[in-house]
Structure 1
Amino acid sequence: MRQNPARRNALLDAAIEVLADEGSRGLTLRAVDQRAGVPTGTTSNYFSNRADLLEQLMRRVRERLTPDPAALAETLRATPSRDLVKTLMHQLVDRTRRERSSHLALLELRLEATRRPELDPTLTRFFTSDLDANVAFHLEAGLPGDRGSVLLLYLGMLGLIVDDLTVPEVLRPHGVDALVDSLVDRVFPPADHHGEEVVGQG
């Protein structure tokens, strides 16, 4: 059966909104039909079952969260440095806020994987692929740090983003922008006059 790619993406976007708003239990093929405003049965014509929908939903989330290539290229014209890392992390926070539903959908999938072991391998592959891609991007761009420090940055930003999206008042007194800058400074400490990293200061 020939499928319309635009309709497929519209259904996946509707599924993301359902998952973000109603949680994993509310995500059914019929609920996606209703959210997308299409005739009952449309979603089942595009996705063989709920598992197929979830796997393709994750791919759609990745598409939605990927930065605009032209904008990213413009940002990367700057000299690789801690300041550039800060700029990229601030852009990441802005992007997550614009795509709040996508991130909440991923959080819901994380929770569902704890209840449905069969989902865990798919989710693990998804997040492993994303982590590997983020590390490769950082290193290939010539940004400071090694794989270990990029992993620490990933974990720190993930925690910050979860709080910013779900309990923003927790971070508001500290200032999200200031926290991002501090995180980058601590993960990639400045070099002293001998060119060695000064660890544990600040």
Structure 2
Amino acid sequence: MRQNPARRAALVDAAIEVLAREGARGLTFRAVDVEAKVPNGTASNYFANRDDLLTQAGARVYERWQPDSSLFADVLEGPHDRAHVTALMREMVGRLTAFPAGYLALVELRLEATRRPELRSVLTRRIRDDLDANIGFHLEARMPGDATTVTVLYMALNWLILERLTLPDIFPEAQVDDLIADVVERILPPDTP
């Protein structure tokens, strides 16, 4: 297997674009080569098999979604109230929807995981770890609410993102900020003086 990290990243990014546009059935080494604008056969030199490519695409989505480190400092140092959580949730929805191919590719990977136990195991572990990290960070930052609060926010806002990317006319862009604020207000306990 080839080891050029920049080329590998470009191929995985191309795989994400193919997954988002064509679905899992359209993800072939040839399609990745075409998307990445590299010679035929390049992807097959970098990935042991299609499962390897699928797994690395899932991991890469999460790499690209990572917030700037200044966001973590802002959470730890900022206020610990609903308004701050609302701002953070707006930032998160904005960050995830700014990379629509990543979100749609992850949806495709989840569907493919229903047929591929190894991929299901990898995605389950990755998504569970991500959710646990978000819960841990929320609690460490002493934000209002508990683990269930974070879990319910995760579920509600993930569905909002899915609607925005797949059926954008259901919730027009002008409505998104208000919807996020409503979700936070209904899920988080009231601020205490």
Interval containing the TM-score (normalised by the shorter chain): over 0.9
Moved more, 64-73 or 27-36: 64-73
Q: Distance in 2 between matches of 1:173 and 1:38?
A: 36
Using the TM superposition, name which of 33-42 and 110-119 deviates more: 110-119
Deviation at 1:115, TM superposition (A): 3.2
* Aligned mates of 1:134, 1:186 — CA distance in 2: 19
Aligned residue number for residue 198 of structure 1: none
State the distance in 2 between where 1:173 and 1:61 align: 23
Tell me which amino acid in the other structure corresponds to 2:26.
Answer: G
Q: Is the 8 A contact 2:164 2:171 kept in 1?
A: yes
Shift of 1:74: 4.0
For residues 144 and 67 of structure 1, the distance between their equivalents in structure 2, rounded to whole angstroms, comes to: 21
Partner of 2:163: 163
Alpha-carbon separation, structure 2, partners of 1:176 and 1:36: 33
- Do the aligned partners of 2:33 and 2:43 also contact (CA within 8 Å) in 1? yes
Q: Is the 8 A contact 2:2 2:46 kept in 1?
A: no
How far does residue 114 in structure 1 lie from its aligned partner after superposition?
2.3
Cα deviation digits, residues 131-185 of structure 1 (max 9, x gap): 1111112111111111111111111111111111111111128811111001111
2:32 aligned partner: 32
Cα distance between partner residues in 2 of 1:65 and 1:86: 19
| Secondary structure of the structure 1 residue equivalent to 2:79 | coil
Instruction: Name the residue aligned to 2:90.
Output: 90
Q: Give how far 1:72 is off.
A: 4.2
Q: 1:175: which partner in 2?
A: 175
Cα distance in 2 for residues equivalent to 1:189 and 1:175:
23
* SS of equivalent residue, structure 1 residue 168: coil
Helix, strand or coil: the match of 2:103? Answer: helix
Displacement after TM superposition at 1:118 (Å): 4.1
Counterpart for residue 44 of structure 1 = 44
- Residue type of the partner of 1:149? T
Q: Are the counterparts in 1 of residues 55 and 119 from structure 2 also a CA contact under 8 Å? A: no
Aligned length: 193
Q: Normalising by structure 2, report the TM-score.
A: 0.92
Counterpart-to-counterpart distance in 2, 1:72 and 1:95: 14
Provide the residue aligned with 1:103 in structure 2: 103
SS at match of 1:80: coil
Give the match's secondary structure for 2:39. Answer: coil
Q: What is the rounded CA distance, in whole Å, between the counterparts of 1:150 and 1:110 in structure 2?
A: 21
Q: Which residue is equivalent to 1:20? A: 20
CA offset at residue 2 of structure 1?
5.2
Using CA pairs below 8 Å that are at least 6 residues apart, which structure has the higher relative contact order?
A: 2
Q: How does 1:79-158 map to 2 (within 5 A)?
A: 79-158=79-158
Point out the more displaced range, 39-48 or 13-22: 39-48
The residue matched to 1:96 in structure 2 has which SS?
helix
Write out per-residue CA displacement over residues 79-113 of structure 1, whole angstroms, 9 at most, x where no aligned residue. 12111111111001111221100000001111112
What percentage of aligned pairs have identical amino acids? Answer: 53
Moved over 2 A (4+): 70-77, 114-119
